[in-house]
Amino acid sequence: MATTPNKPAAAGKPDAGKQSQKGFVYLPLIAGWLVPGAGHFLLGKWIRGTLLAVSIIAMFVLGLAMQGKLYTSAQDILDMLGMAGDLGNGLLFFVSRAMGLGGQPVETTVADYGTKFIVVAGLLNIIAAVDAHNLRTGRKAS
Amino acid sequence: MIHPSHFAAVVLFSLFASTVFGITMRDTPRRMVRYGAYCFILFVGSAIVLSWVMFVIAR
Q: Which residues of B4-21 are buried (b: 16+ CB within 10 A; e: fewer)?
A: beeeebbbbbbbbbbbbb
Which one is predicted more confidently, B58 or A22?
B58
CA atoms B47, B48, B51, B53: torsion sign: negative
Q: What is the value of pTM for the model shown?
A: 0.87
As averages over each run of 10 residues, the pLDDT of chain A (142 residues) reads 42 46 88 97 96 98 96 89 96 95 90 96 98 95 83
Q: How far is B59 from chain A (nearest CA, A)?
A: 22
Whether this model's ipTM surpasses 0.95 comes out as: no
Contact B3 A110 (CB under 8 A): yes
Contact B27 A127 (CB under 8 A): no
Q: Give the CA diameter of chain B.
A: 47
User: pLDDT value at position A22?
Assistant: 72
pLDDT greater than 60 at residue B17: yes
Q: How far is A114 from chain B (nearest CA, A)?
A: 9
Contact B16 A58 (CB under 8 A): yes
Nearest to B4 among A56, A110, A127 (CB): A110
Residue range B21-52, pLDDT digits in tens: 999 999 999 999 999 999 999 999 999 999 99
Residues of A in contact with B36 (CB under 8 A): none
User: pLDDT value at position A21?
Assistant: 58
Residues of A in contact with B14 (CB under 8 A): none
Give the per-residue SS3 of chain A: CCCCCCCHHHHCCCCCCHHHHCCCCCHHHHHHHHCCCHHHHHCCCHHHHHHHHHHHHHHHHHHHHCCCCCCCCCCCHHHHHHHHHHHCCCHHHHHHHHCCCCCCCCCCHHHHHHHHHHHHHHHHHHHHHHHHHHHHHCCCCC
